[in-house]
Amino acid sequence: KQEVTQIPAALSVPEGENLVLNCSFTDSAIYNLQWFRQDPGKGLTSLLLIQSSQREQTSGRLNASLDKSSGRSTLYIAASQPGDSATYLCAVCSGNTGKLIFGQGTTLQVKP
Amino acid sequence: GAGVSQSPSNKVTEKGKDVELRCDPISGHTALYWYRQSLGQGLEFLIYFQGNSAPDKSGLPSDRFSAERTGGSVSTLTIQRTQQEDSAVYLCASSQNRATGELFFGEGSRLTVL
């Protein structure tokens, strides 16, 4: 059974810092991995989608990497801003239905 | 609209009542998913629809939960005889390509059962 773990559960950094959020999964047979952002009381916003054949994806200040063999993904946020404060969720698709298994999330606070 | 639309955004009901939650996916997306997010818990898969295929109901927590998708578009999640533990945010997502596609989520329906 696929399990997804995110570390740390919470993170507080000063504005401008570069930071890394970690995601690990137990079964390396995945179709894709997706990173989401969730603001309080809101739905999920897709940030990056990495297919199983890819090693990384970039969007603006965000870079996500995928190492299937070790069951790990990282989300790198460059030059963090207070507007980046949110909960970041990692989700893995293990079957051809597109059904996602989510981690518990990392709640990020970027202080001005 | 351009995104996944869910209604109502908030629903307060009394224990034992039935509720219906609606999801309107992105136009052209054939895959539709329902998830539940409870306080302090992660997102839990409930049910998945793909085109005209039989839905994957493996995540539904009890037989009080059911969902349908009419005409391959709008979906309704029904919870019968609601219990307090049903209180959660119910999120709907859609995808263009079930296996490799990106999932797009709605804002969710927050259900409170008193």
Token pair listed for A98 = 């597109």
List Cβ neighbours of B81 (8 Å cut-off, separation of 6 or more): B16, B17, B18, B64
B56-105 pLDDT per residue, tens: 999 999 999 999 998 778 999 999 999 999 999 999 999 987 666 788 99
Burial B16-35 (b: 16+ CB within 10 A, else e): eeebebebbbbeebbbbbbb
Strand partners, A106: A88
The C-alpha atoms of residue B53 and residue B50 are separated, in whole angstroms, by 6
Residue B62 φ/ψ, nearest 5 degrees: -160, 170
**Contact status of B21 with chain A (Cβ, < 8 Å):** no
Mean pLDDT of chain B: 91
The C-alpha atoms of residue A66 and residue B103 are separated, in whole angstroms, by 18
For residue B31, the chain A residues in CB contact (below 8 A) are: 97-98
Q: Do A43 and B107 touch (CB under 8 A)?
A: yes
List Cβ neighbours of A66 (8 Å cut-off, separation of 6 or more): A33, A50, A52, A54, A55, A56, A72, A73
The C-alpha atoms of residue B10 and residue B110 are separated, in whole angstroms, by 5
For residue B45, the chain A residues in CB contact (below 8 A) are: 99-101
Is A49 in contact with A100 (CB distance < 8 Å)?
no
Residue B52 pLDDT grade (very low, low, confident, very high; cuts 50, 70, 90): confident
The C-alpha atoms of residue A24 and residue A4 are separated, in whole angstroms, by 6
Find the residue in B nearest to A102 (Cα): B43
The C-alpha atoms of residue A37 and residue A89 are separated, in whole angstroms, by 6
CA-based R_g, chain B, Å: 13
**Contact status of B54 with chain A (Cβ, < 8 Å):** no
Q: How far is A102 from chain B (nearest CA, A)?
A: 6
Strands B10-13 and B109-113: parallel
pLDDT at A98 over 90: no
Q: Do B45 and A98 touch (CB under 8 A)?
A: no
Give the per-residue pLDDT at B99.
62
Closest by Cβ to A42, choosing from B48, B98, B107: B107
A34-58 pLDDT per residue, tens: 999 999 988 999 999 999 999 999 9
Give the per-residue pLDDT at B54.
87
Three-class SS of residue A79? Answer: coil
For residue B93, the chain A residues in CB contact (below 8 A) are: 44
Give the per-residue pLDDT at B39.
81
Give the per-residue pLDDT at A46.
93
- Tell me which residue of B97, B48, B56, B57 sits closest to B75, measured CA to CA: B48
